[in-house]
Amino acid sequence: MKPQFELLLIWVLNALALLAVANFVPGISVDGFGSALIAAFFLGFVNTLIRPLLLLLTLPVTLLTLGLFIFVINGTLFWLVGSVLRGFVVDGFWHGVLGAVLYSIFSWALSSAAAQLMRKS
């Protein structure tokens, strides 16, 4: 399969995962699929560029907490994107942490299912 198609598929699956998170977590809301696509794009952008830098800067704290501080970083970034974008709202830090965890799980499950389906084709 072409890499462009795979990238678009992952983007759409991440938007669907974000819509699922909004249905499970009361403090997170997404206005619609278009807003979910934009939010998924910005979450991917933030996780690609800013998250590695934050992980490096907070490495001592992450080691002291046996990796649990990564939940704080992920929740903060999820909350940050929800604070910046219109149409995607994260009410607070703890909603951001729960949303980030569920978003990771849903995104992984959808991507794995899509990969299985593509292998069978």
Which residues are CB-contacts of 92 (< 8 A; sequence separation ≥ 6)?
27, 79
Q: How large is the average pLDDT for residues 84-104? A: 96
In this structure, of 5-9, 13-17, 33-37, the range with the lowest mean pLDDT score is 5-9
DSSP class of residue 85 equals S
Which residues are CB-contacts of 84 (< 8 A; sequence separation ≥ 6)?
42
Q: What is the rounded average pLDDT for all residues in the chain? A: 94
Does the pTM exceed 0.95? no
> How many C-beta neighbours within 10 Å does residue 28 have?
24
d(CA 73, CA 79): 10
| Confidence at 4, pLDDT banded by 50, 70, 90 | confident
d(CA 94, CA 79): 9
Using one digit for the tens of pLDDT, what is the confidence trace for 41-71?
999 999 999 999 999 999 999 999 999 999 9
Nearest-CA neighbor of 106 among 78, 83, 84?
78
Q: How large is the average pLDDT for residues 10-22? A: 96
Q: How large is the average pLDDT for residues 21-35? A: 96
Nearest-CA neighbor of 75 among 91, 54, 98?
98
Using one digit for the tens of pLDDT, what is the confidence trace for 98-119?
999 999 999 999 999 998 988 8
Distance between terminal CA atoms of the chain?
A: 11
SS3 67: coil
